[in-house]
Chains A and B, each alone.
Chain A
Amino acid sequence: MRCDEVQSLRGPYLDSELEATASLRIEQHLKSCPDCARLFDEEQRLEAWLKTGMNQGQRTASLWERTEQAVLEAERASFRRQPASRVVQPGLVARAVLALPERLWAGWRDSRRVWSALAATWIIILGLNLTARESRETQLARQDAPSASELRSALEQKQLLMVDLAVSIEPASVDKPKMVAPAPRSEQRQNARRTQAHV
């Protein structure tokens, strides 16, 4: 290797970034070249000195305590925000079903007053419903009674019949009776109304 080639690789060589073969060739050159060896030696000492200087300084305990606390607090906050797992696991379902009676009993045991109040309320509602219900006879009787419109219609029919009866019992005329075509039923109805109004 030439001196300029070796010098161009000074940094990577001192940083141990060269491949083994390249490093070996440089070392062989340095053994035979005192000028290059001196420069490499100077460089190495200077690098070590600079490195020492740059690494001067202490860790600030209070800063790192604050930082660590912030990390721990962020972790706790994240843990609290985590939603419950949405994956339904068969084992968990079976366990929940088996534990249901026990949980119900525990619920009863732990809050008897609440359950008693609920039961009492339900009984009262049921009792009120039974007393307010109509008997079957009342319902049937109400069903048999005619409505107002039915009564009015029946009355009209009765009046028509009375009119027909009155006409039929009138005394027969001396003359030969004329054949009179019976009036339509609507006319009869009007006549009946007129008579009724007159009466």
Chain B
Amino acid sequence: MSQDPTANADRFLALLRPIQRELEIYCRRLVWESQEAPDTLQNAVMRAFAAFDRYDPQASFRAWMFKILTREALVMNRKHTRIARHEFQLEPEELAALATAAEPGPPEGRPPLPEAWDDALEGRLAAGLKILTDTERAVLLLRFIGELRYREIGESLGIPLGSVMGNLWRARQKMRAFLGRFMPGHRFLKENRL
């Protein structure tokens, strides 16, 4: 038995510190109510620390931590079923129609994507994520922020690989369609088809 009363915590925090920023961003984007992100994050960290003696050092700490945080955030989101009833459940085809209705771009070609992320773009991105289901949002964020492999995403959410690919595909299509509405000339969904 170690005599240092914080040896275990020090080891845990040493693994946690390099991924704190990604965990926080992921949590803020995944929870339905952004003000609940700090509590969700802290609960997940404490839960992970309580289970740290069962963590396999050979496994990816990043994937393990994202898995615990994902479950904590989804539990938190389930508390908001009243709000979730108003969640948009649009199919990619319906979104395609929305994208087509957007303003046409300049005839000379597609303008470059905006480089600077301002508040307006951030707001649209946040709104775009809200049209996704919990699973689609989690899959997309685990891929884009967590940079997890499909297998790790499946393990985090307890779904098979095929479901990971299906949810990721739908999430991408919806996001493209939603963002394309606000960017003339970037009718992503339509133009990304043969």
Q: Are A70 and B149 in contact (CB under 8 A)?
A: no
CA gap between A12 and B175 in the complex, in Å: 17
Q: Are A52 and B20 in contact (CB under 8 A)?
A: no
Main secondary structure of the interface of B (DSSP, over half): helix
- Which range contains the number of B residues in contact with the other chain? 35 or more
CA gap between A36 and B89 in the complex, in Å: 30
Chain A nearest CB, measured from B119 CB (Å) = 10
Residues 117 to 169 of chain B near chain A (Cβ within 8 Å): 117, 121-122, 125, 141, 143-145, 149-150, 165, 168-169
B107 in the interface (beta carbon within 8 A)? no
- When distances are taken between beta carbons in the complex, the residues of chain B under 8 Å from A64 are 20, 24
Interface string of A161-182 (1 = CB under 8 A from B): 0000000000000000000000
Q: Are B1 and A54 in contact (CB under 8 A)?
A: no
Q: Are B42 and A15 in contact (CB under 8 A)?
A: no
A39 in the interface (beta carbon within 8 A)? yes
CA gap between A179 and B113 in the complex, in Å: 159
Of the listed stretches A55-63, A114-122, A139-147, A148-156, name the one at the interface; the rest are far from the partner chain.
A55-63
Q: How many A-B residue pairs have CB under 8 A?
A: 102
A32 in the interface (beta carbon within 8 A)? no
CA gap between A85 and B2 in the complex, in Å: 13
Of the listed stretches B6-14, B57-65, B73-81, B93-101, name the one at the interface; the rest are far from the partner chain.
B6-14
CA gap between A30 and B169 in the complex, in Å: 21
Q: How many residues of A contact B (CB 8 A)?
A: 42
Q: Given A11-B165, A55-B144, A59-B24, do A71 and B49 touch, yes or no (CB 8 Å)?
A: yes
Residues 162 to 192 of chain B near chain A (Cβ within 8 Å): 165, 168-169, 172, 175-176, 179, 188, 191-192
- When distances are taken between beta carbons in the complex, the residues of chain B under 8 Å from A58 are 21
Q: Are B6 and A7 in contact (CB under 8 A)?
A: no
Residues 7 to 43 of chain A near chain B (Cβ within 8 Å): 7, 11-12, 15, 17, 35-36, 39, 42-43
Q: Given A17-B150, A49-B113, do A59 and B20 touch, yes or no (CB 8 Å)?
A: yes
- When distances are taken between beta carbons in the complex, the residues of chain A under 8 Å from B5 are 75-76, 79-80
Residues of A within 8 A of B (CB): 3-4, 7, 11-12, 15, 17, 35-36, 39, 42-43, 45-47, 49-60, 63-64, 66-68, 70-72, 74-76, 79-80, 82, 85
30 residue pairs from A and B, CB less than 8 Å apart: A7-B194, A11-B168, A17-B150, A36-B194, A46-B113, A50-B125, A50-B144, A50-B175, A52-B117, A53-B121, A53-B122, A53-B125, A54-B25, A56-B25, A56-B122, A60-B38, A63-B24, A64-B20, A64-B24, A67-B42, A67-B46, A70-B42, A71-B13, A71-B49, A74-B46, A74-B49, A75-B6, A75-B8, A76-B5, A79-B6
> 9 tightest CB-CB pairs across the interface, nearest first?
A75-B9, A79-B5, A59-B21, A57-B25, A49-B113, A54-B144, A51-B144, A56-B117, A67-B42
